[in-house]
């Protein structure tokens, strides 16, 4: 199976106090985040070995966390404030960043596209608990030609209380894969940009 792209990055706020597993995770305020050029999850794993009699007897390679990197084409100020826990002022279209702001825990998903035996497979990928950090404010001048720059958002991947950290499911159509993300993250048709 060859990966050929992805689309539809969406997120929702996680109720961390009551969500102990994927089965009972409660999400709210779900929304589509916008177009993205990259969506990469990098889990960190334990690498522990127990030796005895000059050989390895036991190993542990369990997931302990990780990072989720999203390269967003240009997040709206409202979405960036929502992701990072900043205050967005609707009337002035402004964002106030305060050192005491705390980014919420989010469930974040996208639909990956792969080709298998000549058919396109759509895979819903949902990181069940993440928390993002303020990105760098990088700007470059226009030179001989325009260069398109993106906003790189990086967050931590966490486990729910029972150890669940990622949910994946394959579908035959894009609509089914998006629908699974919408159902899991409690996103309505209006919030996802649907008709």
Q: Nearest 5 degrees, angle CA 62-CA 64-CA 66? A: 120
The rounded distance, in Å, linking the Cα atoms of 62 and 81 is 33
**pTM for the full predicted model:** 0.85
Q: What is the pLDDT along the chain (195 residues), one digit of tens a residue?
A: 688 899 999 999 999 999 999 999 999 999 999 899 999 998 888 777 877 877 777 877 787 889 999 998 877 889 999 999 999 998 888 888 899 999 999 999 999 999 998 899 999 999 999 999 987 776 677 777 666 666 889 999 999 999 999 999 999 999 999 999 999 999 986 555 543
């Amino acid at each position: 199976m060859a990966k050929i792209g992805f689309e539809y990055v969406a997120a929702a706020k996680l109720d961390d106090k009551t969500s102990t597993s994927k089965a009972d995770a409660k999400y709210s305020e779900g929304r589509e985040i916008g177009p993205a050029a990259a969506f990469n999850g990098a889990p960190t794993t334990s690498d522990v070995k127990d030796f005895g009699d000059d050989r390895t007897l036991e190993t542990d390679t369990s997931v302990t966390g990780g990072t989720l990197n999203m390269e967003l084409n240009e997040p709206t100020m409202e979405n960036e404030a929502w992701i990072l826990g900043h205050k967005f002022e609707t009337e002035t279209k402004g964002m106030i960043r305060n050192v005491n702001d705390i980014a919420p825990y989010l469930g974040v998903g996208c639909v990956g596209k792969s080709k298998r035996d000549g058919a396109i497979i759509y895979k819903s990928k949902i990181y069940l608990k993440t928390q993002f950090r303020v990105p760098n404010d990088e700007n470059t001048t226009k030179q001989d030609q325009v260069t398109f720059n993106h906003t790189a958002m990086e967050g931590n991947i966490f486990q729910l209380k029972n150890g669940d950290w990622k949910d994946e499911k394959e579908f035959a159509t894009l609509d089914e894969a998006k629908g699974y993300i919408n159902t899991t993250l409690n996103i309505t048709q209006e919030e996802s940009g649907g008709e």
